[in-house]
């Protein structure tokens, strides 16, 4: 998968923006990580979860990638249920560090 696969026509404006931002991160690796997650899950996030997701997207790409891959510990303020949901979306190999 190399780009957005999901239509945003059925999403509210806030979710459309989050979906777009997920696919336009700055580094291609994070486009793929967050973009694929958003394609599959953006319409399922509650408003509170969407707020967590939006806050997570404010983190620098490099930091976020290292947290997701376990290369660096996840700061407590970013170790949210939504962060863990993204990590778990990719299954094994992306271990959580306390």
pLDDT value of residue 78: 95
Tell whether domain 13-89 is in CATH 3.30.9.10. no
**What are the pLDDT digits (tens) for 21-73?**
999 998 998 999 999 999 999 999 999 999 999 999 999 999 999 999 889 99
Cα–Cα nearest to 36, from 49, 57, 46, 22 = 22
Examine the pLDDT at 8 and tell me if it is beyond 70: no
- Provide the residue ranges of all domains of the chain, joining segments of one domain with +: 13-89
CB 86 within 8 A of CB 68: yes
Cα–Cα nearest to 3, from 19, 23, 33, 18 = 23
């Amino acid at each position: 998968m190399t780009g957005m696969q999901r239509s945003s026509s059925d999403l509210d404006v806030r979710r459309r923006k989050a979906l777009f931002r997920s696919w336009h991160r700055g580094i291609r690796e994070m486009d793929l990580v967050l973009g694929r997650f958003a394609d599959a899950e953006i319409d399922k996030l509650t408003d509170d979860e969407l707020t967590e997701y939006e806050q997570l997207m404010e983190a620098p790409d490099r930091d976020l990638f290292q947290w997701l891959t376990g290369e660096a510990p996840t700061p407590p303020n970013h170790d949210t249920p939504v962060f863990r949901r993204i990590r778990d979306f990719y299954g094994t190999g992306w271990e959580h560090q306390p």
